[in-house]
Amino acid sequence: MGLFTGKKGIVLGVANDRSIAWSIAEHLHREGAEIGFTHLPDTGDRPKNQNKVGKLVDPIGSKFLIPMDVCNDEHIAAVIEKAVATFGKIDFIVHSIAFAPPADLTGPTYACSRNGFKSAMEISAYSLLAVAGAAKKQDALSQDCSILTLSYFGGEEVIPGYNLMGICKAALECCVRYLASELGPYGTRVNAISAGPLRTVSSSGVGDFDKMQMVNATISPLRRNLDVDEVGSMGMVMLSKLSSGMTGEVVHVDCGFNIMGAPPADFLSKISAAT
């Protein structure tokens, strides 16, 4: 009997087998969870996104797989309606959604466009509020529901290359705290994982990502980069009863990078060797 035997929920944001959301879903499944998934809406006649995500989730017994555009309230409502029709109540929600237009993400923050800023904030931060709000409105949350989203240290401190997304993650982390305060009286916990730099679809649009990983590996106390499975296992723990007293928190899973106030003594020698 696993930690999630009898537990049911939804995972939002799986893009491929390198997605953090997918790693979390795998751990939830191993512990007995029943899961419904969403995918990016497809355009044209070919269900490319549906097929790509379906190949991952079908073998683990996905209870449903439906499209969701987080900029569309009707899509969000439909996902929650499907979850309620399938599960009755939702015990967990994984929110792993972020996007910024490449032209606005790769340049300096002072040069981002007004529309690019709006789009990035709406998808990367407001979407968490929208999903939680839709679930609360439809009375879909169980008495001990847990919501988890994904952040990055660039939302706390300046990480060159992360740029506009850092601003979005700062907003997302603030959303976590306010949601935790407002949903706590109903028994719902809301937390975030701040993961170290991992090569995912989202990170592919970040400038100087290779340098971010190199710096993380040379500065972090563990002197290495993260494995996605390490985030997946922590995500499972934070959604489970093992973290029942935790809400409104941003937990760093980054090999200790966030604790360093200055580079370690061997930093310069490692950087020189790497270049």
- pLDDT at residue number 141: 98
Convert the pLDDT of each residue in 96-110 to its tens digit: 999 999 999 999 999
pTM confidence score: 0.93
Structure token digits, residue 187: 């028994």
Domain extents for the chain?
8-274
Computed over every residue of the chain, the mean pLDDT equals 93
Locate 94 and state its tokens.
Answer: 């994984």
Residues taking part in catalysis = 152, 162
Tokens describing residue 145: 């529901």
pLDDT over 70 percentage in the chain: 94
Helices (H), 92-158: 102-105, 114-121, 127-137
> What is the residue type of 203?
S
Written out in words, the top-level CATH class of the domain with range 8-274 is: alpha beta
Helix (H) or strand (E) holding 148: strand 141-151
The pLDDT confidence band at residue 46, using thresholds 50, 70 and 90, is confident
CA dihedral 129, 20, 191, 92 (to 10 degrees): 70
